[in-house]
Amino acid sequence: MKEITEQQWLQRDIAPKGKEAVFFFTPLCGTCKVGLRMLEVAEAAGISTSVFLININFAPVLREKWKVASVPCLVLTQAGEPVQMEYAMQSVDTLYRLLK
């Protein structure tokens, strides 16, 4: 997982053709910290999807464009466009299956 800024996401030269995920969070959100820990465990188990972390406080363009309603929010993307949004980080197993 790599924390990036909204600008870094938007300024990528070539949108990847494959599946990626963006985890929107805020630093003071306890549920976000739990979700982040679950993503770390899923990553250690061997997911194949790249996961990027973006602080939603500094991502007004993506927040509006993708209509992110709350945090934590895991957005699965295909070719740089959102295809699925998960607001409930139910379990490590669920996240692992989404990201494998």
Helix (H, G, I), strand (E, B) or coil at 2: strand
Task: Enter the pTM of the model.
Answer: 0.94
Q: Measured over all CA atoms, what is the biggest interatomic distance in the chain, rounded to whole angstroms?
A: 34
The pLDDT tens digits for 38-78 are: 999 999 999 999 999 999 999 999 999 999 999 999 999 99
Strands 81-86 and 73-78: antiparallel
Q: Has residue 13 got a pLDDT over 80?
A: no
| DSSP code for 86 | E
Return the HEC string of 4-68: CCHHHHHCCCCCCCCEEEEEEECCCCHHHHHHHHHHHHHHHCCCCCEEEEEEHHHCHHHHHHCCC
| DSSP code for 82 | E
The pLDDT tens digits for 18-37 are: 899 999 999 999 999 999 99
